[in-house]
Amino acid sequence: MAGAESPNRSPEIRKDGINNRWVIFSPARSRRPSDFKSKSNPNPNNQSECPFCKGHEHECAPEIFRIPADSTSDWRIRVIQNLYPALNRDLHFRNHEDSSSHGDVSVSGFGFHDVVIESPVHSVHLIDLSPAEVGDVLLAFKARIDQLRMNDSIKYVQVFKNHGASAGASMSHSHSQMIALPIVPPTVSARLNSMKEYYEQTGNCSLCDTRVDDLIINESTHFKSVVPFAATFPFEIWIIPRDHSTYFHDLDSEKAVDLGGLLKFMLLKMSSQLNNPPFNFMIHTSPFQVDPSYLPCCHWFLQIVPQLSGVGGFELGTGCYINPVFPEDAAKILREVKVPDQK
């Protein structure tokens, strides 16, 4: 159901075949898709008290590595431990689970929670960096994942970015986080199983098979950016490798620059169209040690979610989301929005 933005379109319920969940598209009567703008203040902390700034390294939890690696030179990117980690890297991972009589299960809170500081300068964000510099941030994620996956107890690494207070950020200095888990999270298992089911029915990977047509925003040499067919959130964007790729950590230097350029371009478009909204991005890769039968159907992608509306009781109750903007309309607007020339 393609076409220009239409305020009179009737609601439609679409199934997101990758994540196996339903989304209700219900166009907001009062607002046209192009009227969606962020109103929130994106800057939680200020520079004077920022431990992530150059010169304040001693205020941070220990460094894991920096780029460039030479400790005497000025750094461009630092990967550090999180001072308030969600999981504890020093715990001994107990492989057995403790079960209660209700079927609830617990394992020890072992895992790694790291922070990637993306620039030494407080005011510089990903959109201010060149494609090669954004590519270096992506390669820092890869390098840290390569270290973490050597640990046999680690099953999955989630890379994510919170930008802006209502997207969960407490620090405004440009950074991302990585949490390495001893379990495979339920959304990851659900995605894997859903993609496997599609593969068994069709013989194809569902993301290789994505029909983009009116959902495409842009394409680069190795990646395409789209609004997904059943986008959970208004103006959500997925950046997908054009060739089948199971793991984000297989990214090489050439692809990193290419992805860096497209990611920057999408963030610029989103920022320009939606008035610099708070946002999250997540890298959805595949679990380590996965059964080889999953490899042909698992395809990683990067999801960008601008935070324009909160989650309410209906979403919490049903797991179904209501999205007021049809993906075709969001894609058209994002395709057409002009941004300043890239560096």
Q: Which residues bind ligand AMP (CB under 6 A)?
A: 51, 59-61, 80, 82-84, 115, 162, 168-171, 175, 177
Query: In terms of CB distance, is 51 or 296 closer to ligand AMP?
Result: 51
Spatial CA neighbour of 83 closest among 103, 62, 58, 56: 62
* Contacts of residue 260, Cβ cutoff 8 Å, sequence gap at least 6: 129, 130, 131, 132, 133, 134, 135, 136, 137, 138
Cα dihedral 22, 26, 27, 33 in deg (nearest 10): -30
284 contacts Zn ion (rule: CB under 5 A): no
Nearer to Zn ion by C-beta: 194 or 273? 194
Q: Of 38, 43, 41, 39, which Cα lies nearest the Cα of 274?
A: 38
Q: Which of 129, 207, 226, 267 binds Zn ion (CB under 5 A)?
A: 207
Q: In this chain, which of 50, 61, 165, 339 binds Zn ion, going by CB under 5 A?
A: 50
175 is catalytic: yes
Residues 6+ apart with CB under 8 A from 188: 156, 284, 286, 287
- Residue closer to Zn ion, measured from CB, 121 or 184: 121
161: tokens are 């970015």
Q: Binding to Zn ion by residue 173, rule CB under 5 A?
A: yes
**Residue choice 25, 52, 229, 321 for contact with Zn ion (CB under 5 A):** 52
Q: Are 327 and 229 in contact (CB under 8 A)?
A: yes
Q: Is the dihedral of CA 284, 162, 119, 77 positive or negative?
A: negative
User: Which one from 125, 175, 249, 284 is the annotated catalytic residue?
Assistant: 175
Find which of Zn ion, ligand AMP, none residue 283 binds, CB within 5 to 8 Å per kind. Answer: none
**Residue 103 or 292 with smaller CB distance to Zn ion:** 292
Using CB under 5 A as the criterion, which residues of the chain lie in contact with Zn ion when the complex forms?
Answer: 50, 52-53, 122, 173, 205, 207-208, 244, 299
Active site positions, annotated:
175
